[in-house]
Amino acid sequence: MKYFVHNSFEVSSLSMNPLNAKLYTSFSNALVIDDDVVDSLITKIVLTKSGFAKNVIVYNSIPAVSEYLGVVSSEEYPQSVILDMDMSYQKGFDFLCFLENYPSFLKENGYLYVLSSSFTMMDTKRLYRFSRVCKFLQKPMTRQLVWKLMDSLES
């Protein structure tokens, strides 16, 4: 794991003030699953620039992710997944059900975050039936949101 510093008070810049900085642990690999090319690019850039993950892998469909998981070794699995719940071809719930076939994926130190622009209370209740889901995130992905995620990881 890699360590990085962020400044809670200088949100608009990447300059660091050591007096107001926090130390975080970033992930080696993160996986973004979102069928919207623009949203997935924004998420990738924010995760990378914020130091959330060294490598951010993006897939725009669940079948592509299943193919990826079929060929990558379990040692190379991403430690965190950002999943869009409202995709046009398949829903994020389909991916959550699909994950049941990969028990080693995210089993110990993995984090699964759900990202969406709209979500109903019924969806929220259904979502938390999946034990691997850590948190629901509201689009768009921002640096401040990533820092809040990392604050929760460190506490």
State the DSSP H helix or E strand holding residue 48, giving kind and residue range, or none if neither. helix 37-49
For 59-99, write each residue's pLDDT tens digit: 998 888 888 888 888 778 888 999 988 777 677 888 888 77
Instruction: With cut-offs at 50, 70 and 90, classify the pLDDT of residue 104.
Output: low
Percentages (nearest 5) of helix, strand, coil residues in the chain: 35, 30, 35
Burial of 120 (0-12, 13-18, 19+ CB in 10 A): exposed
**Of the candidates 77, 26, 52, 57, which has an alpha carbon nearest to the alpha carbon of residue 141?**
52
pTM assigned to the model: 0.78
Q: What percent of the chain has pLDDT over 70?
A: 74
pLDDT in tens, 41-62: 999 999 999 889 989 999 998 8
Q: Is the pLDDT of residue 35 over 50?
A: yes
Domains along the chain with CATH numbers: 26-145 (3.40.50.2300)
